[in-house]
Amino acid sequence: MRPSSKNIILIGFMGVGKTTIGKELARLLQREFVDLDQAIEADANQTVLEIFQNEGEEAFRKRENTKFMELFESDNRIISFGGGAFLQSDIQKVSLEDGIVVFLDISFPLWLKRLPSLIADRPVLQNKNHEEIRTLFVSRREVYLKGHHTLNTDHMSPIQIADNIAKTILQA
């Protein structure tokens, strides 16, 4: 079956592996890889953390929206979102209408083991206790489930996950 040329979008909670797996998937499908956070950082010449600190979250969300709309003018891409991008209603609408949206899921106890390595760079996780993070995880999961495909990533390597995504999309 001929793979569609639609952009493939990876969504999911912070640290689930969207960036890492997106690179593998792009290699596998021989497509251009774009990471939305990294594209915003390159434009702003600041890290995501610095944008949050210097300009605030609202300004970051505006940058995220503008960059997404710009990226979506071309197809055939693998686009890894930041954890909050799919929460924006117009980004969600365009992604679902014109792209293939893959939700990378993970069980919370497994995700929690990654928290120490994530906290320094993810402003949304800072100043929250585990219960507050769990509440955010659960409420965002409901939104991510609107994606076209859901893949549980527990106990799989990034290469195995990318392989599964490729098979899921080719079979769809």
Ligand X SMILES: Nc1ncnc2c1ncn2[C@@H]1O[C@H](COP(=O)(O)OP(=O)(O)OP(=O)(O)O)[C@@H](O)[C@H]1O
Ligand Y SMILES: O=C(O)C1=C[C@@H](O)[C@@H](O)[C@H](O)C1
- The option from ligand X, ligand Y, Mg ion, none interacting with 157 (CB < 5 to 8 A, set by class) reads ligand X
83 is in an annotated binding site: yes
Task: List, in sequence order, every beta strand (DSSP E) within 5-98.
Answer: 8-11, 32-35, 77-80
User: Reduced to 3 states, what is the DSSP secondary structure of residue 66?
Assistant: helix
Among 157, 167, 170, 172, binds ligand X (CB under 6 A): 157
Is residue 37 within the footprint of ligand Y (CB under 6 A)? yes
Taking CB under 6 A as the criterion, which residues in 92-151 touch ligand Y? 122-124
How many other CB atoms sit within 10 Å of the CB of residue 160?
A: 13
Q: Longest Cα pair distance anywhere in the chain, in angstroms?
A: 48
Task: List, in sequence order, every beta strand (DSSP E) within the chain.
Answer: 8-11, 32-35, 77-80, 100-105, 149-152
- The option from Mg ion, ligand X, ligand Y, none interacting with 84 (CB < 5 to 8 A, set by class) reads ligand Y
125: left (phi over 0), alpha (psi -120 to 50) or beta: alpha
Among 14, 25, 100, 102, binds ligand Y (CB under 6 A): 14
Show the site string, 45-84: x = touches ligand Y by CB under 6 A, - = not: ---x---------------------------------xxx
Which residues lie below 8 Å from residue 65, measured CB to CB, with a gap of 6+? 88, 90, 91
17 is in an annotated binding site: yes
Q: Which is nearer to ligand X, 55 or 163 (CB)?
A: 163
How many other CB atoms sit within 10 Å of the CB of residue 80?
A: 27
- How many residues contact ligand X, by CB under 6 A? 20
Q: Which is nearer to ligand X, 14 or 78 (CB)?
A: 14
User: Reduced to 3 states, what is the DSSP secondary structure of residue 165?
Assistant: helix
37 is in an annotated binding site: yes
Q: Which residues bind Mg ion (CB under 5 A)?
A: 18-19
Binding site for ligand Y (CB under 6 A): 14, 37, 48, 82-84, 122-124
Which residues participate in the annotated binding site?
Answer: 15-20, 37, 61, 83, 122, 140
